[in-house]
A = this chain, B = another copy of it.
Amino acid sequence: MVDYTLDKLRTHGYRITQPRPVVIDVLTESHGHLTSAEILERVAAVDKSIGRASVFRVLDLLTSLAVIRPVYVEGRSPAYVMLTPEGHHSHIVCVTCGHVIELDTCVVDGLDEQLEEQYGVQLSGHLLEFYGTCAQCR
Tell me how many chains of this kind the complex includes: 2
Residues of B within 8 A of A122 (CB): 132-133, 138
Interface centre among A120, A127, A130 (most CB of B within 10 A): A130
| Contact call B124/A131, Cβ cutoff below 8 A | yes
A59 to chain B, nearest CB (A): 12
| Contact call A72/B78, Cβ cutoff below 8 A | yes
Are A127 and B126 also in contact (CB < 8 A) when A107-B108, A121-B92 are? no
| Complex-state Cα separation, A69 to B131, whole angstroms | 10
Specify the chain B residue showing the minimal Cβ separation from A94. B121
Are A120 and B135 also in contact (CB < 8 A) when A64-B95, A128-B126 are? yes
Sorting the interface of chain A by its residue count into under 10, 10 to 19, 20 to 34 or 35 or more gives 35 or more
Interface status of A125 (Cβ within 8 A of chain B): yes
A101 to chain B, nearest CB (A): 6
| Contact call A134/B111, Cβ cutoff below 8 A | no
Q: 8 closest A-B pairs (Cβ-Cβ)?
A: A123-B132, A120-B135, A70-B72, A126-B130, A127-B129, A122-B133, A124-B132, A122-B132
A25 to chain B, nearest CB (A): 23
Interface centre among A107, A121, A125 (most CB of B within 10 A): A121
Interface status of A115 (Cβ within 8 A of chain B): yes
| Complex-state Cα separation, A137 to B107, whole angstroms | 27
Residues of B within 8 A of A131 (CB): 66, 69, 87, 123-127
